[in-house]
Structure 1
Amino acid sequence: MRAEFFIKSFCRIENGQVMFNGNTIFTTESEIFSNFSKETYRHFEISYPKFFKMDNLSKLAFLAAEIILKNENLDADKNNIALVFSNRASSLDTDRKHQKSIENSGSIFPSPAVFVYTLPNICLGEISIRHRLYSENSFFIFEKFNAEHLQLYAHNLLRTKKAEKVLCGWVEFDGDDYKAFLYLVEKNAEIPHTVQKIESLYYNE
């Protein structure tokens, strides 16, 4: 039986590499994410000054989404793309920075610029603003990558016509470790949106 929905494109970012649809399109020797993110931003000639004010989780999600969505020729009035992201650490990396700033300043709210990113779903807002997306968006926390949940949730959004496409995936940033795996689901493409295929792409098998 023919699949109902398909993966149109996918992006992986980890270990200083950016991959799109299985091909490495950018790599750097920078081991520090802040340097890697700046190099990636400049390499793809992105113009969005607010990027440099984002926390690391948002930068990671933003870059992966940018790689995928720049190929969609988005219409400012018709961007019916939902966002369904997940990770394990939530916004822990930023939470640590916020706690440290409290300890250093002695104030409950020492840095609004840090505090605003102490929720993982803020990265969804950054992407939505950038690409003018007004569809549903959700961020889930799991102990490990949960392909079945992403598949079921995306299919429900598409079947109920709450979105025409869904950008799904995993965006994890914790200390020195980072990994983004995002993919775009729609009705007409080539890669079946099955749990097995999602896991195969995520684990780069």
Structure 2
Amino acid sequence: MMKNQFKISSYCHVKQNKISLNGTIFFSAEAEESKFLKKAYKDLDINYSKFFKMDKLSQLAFLAADVLLQHENISEENQENIALVMGNKASSLDTDRKHQDSIQDKASYYPSPAVFVYTLPNIMLGEISIKYKLYSENSFFVFENFKTNYFYNYTQSLIDDKKADKILCGWVNVDDEDYEAFLYLVTPNGNLQHTEQQINTLYNELWKL
């Protein structure tokens, strides 16, 4: 049985204080990582009041997703059947460290709920879903590195089983000051083939930023 032939319509990278959209630098600024994310949020006029309450992992994913979905004219007002499939290698480690530090602080033992709520990586999927009213399938995986074949096969299974009209896929990782995001949108229409080779090619553009 022949698989449904979906395409990649757009892709986005965030790394080294730069955001690129479809291979072209979309935004850049001289700032340390956490300040860069907030500056990008302000300068790109992204409207979501909870952004400053998020941990860095959620801010990074939210920023990349918003740039990509806005480019695709995905409206916040209309419910879309877009699945989310993402992963990383550090889970929520960056926030977990802060949570652990607060537990070990004998002078102020009780950890802040504002930190604790972000000690699960799938919370970042929830933030994207809330803004864009996404109620479809969403999955998060932790691997040592970006496993193209797994993401391709999982995404293809969602398409073949007709569980989503579009799939936002990618890799979003934060570990201290090291951060990277690569997201791509798989749709019925697009200019790029949805193949493992094509996904690898697009992912490797991340290292050219």
Q: Which residue of 2 aligns with 1:131?
A: 132
Cα offset, 1:198, TM superposition: 0.6
Cα offset, 1:158, TM superposition: 1.2
Aligned alpha-carbon RMSD (Å): 1.8
CA distance in 1, matches of 2:198, 2:78: 32
Cα offset, 1:71, TM superposition: 2.4
CA distance in 2, matches of 1:189, 1:197: 13
Cα offset, 1:181, TM superposition: 0.2
Decide whether the 8 Å contact of 2:12 with 2:183 is kept in 1.
Answer: yes
1:19 aligns to 2:34 (yes or no): no
> What is the 5 A alignment of 1:20-39?
20-30=21-31, 32-39=32-39
CA distance in 1, matches of 2:171, 2:63: 13
Q: Which residue of 2 aligns with 1:188?
A: 189
CA distance in 1, matches of 2:166, 2:109: 41
Structure 1 residue matching 2:197: 3-state secondary structure: helix
Normalization by structure 1: what TM-score?
0.94
Structure 1 residue matching 2:71: 3-state secondary structure: coil
Cα offset, 1:78, TM superposition: 3.5
Structure 2 residue matching 1:62: 3-state secondary structure: helix
- Stretches of structure 2 that go unaligned for 5 or more consecutive residues are none
CA distance in 1, matches of 2:112, 2:106: 9
- CA 1:104–1:67 in 2, change beyond 3 Å: closer, same or farther? same
CA distance in 2, matches of 1:82, 1:108: 39
List, as ranges, runs of 4+ consecutive aligned residues in structure 1 with deviation greater than 4 Å: 105-109
CA distance in 2, matches of 1:97, 1:37: 19
CA distance in 2, matches of 1:55, 1:109: 18
- Stretches of structure 1 that go unaligned for 5 or more consecutive residues are none
CA distance in 2, matches of 1:103, 1:78: 43
Cα offset, 1:186, TM superposition: 1.0
Deviates further, 193-202 or 98-107: 98-107
CA distance in 1, matches of 2:198, 2:74: 26
Q: Which residue of 1 aligns with 2:201?
A: 200
Cα offset, 1:3, TM superposition: 8.0
**Equivalent position amino acid for 1:173 in 2:** V
1:60 aligns to 2:67 (yes or no): no
Decide whether the 8 Å contact of 2:83 with 2:136 is kept in 1.
Answer: yes
> What is the 5 A alignment of 1:97-176?
97-105=98-106, 109-176=110-177
CA distance in 2, matches of 1:127, 1:109: 29
CA distance in 2, matches of 1:152, 1:107: 47
Structure 1 residue matching 2:162: 3-state secondary structure: coil
Q: Which residue of 1 aligns with 2:42?
A: 42
**Equivalent position amino acid for 1:142 in 2:** F
Identity, % of aligned pairs? 53
CA distance in 1, matches of 2:80, 2:4: 24
Decide whether the 8 Å contact of 1:18 with 1:24 is kept in 2.
Answer: yes
- CA 1:109–1:158 in 2, change beyond 3 Å: closer, same or farther? farther
Write out per-residue CA displacement over residues 144-185 of structure 1, whole angstroms, 9 at most, x where no aligned residue: 111111111111111111100000000000011000000000
CA distance in 1, matches of 2:27, 2:192: 23
CA distance in 2, matches of 1:50, 1:105: 30
CA distance in 1, matches of 2:66, 2:17: 17
Decide whether the 8 Å contact of 1:13 with 1:179 is kept in 2.
Answer: yes
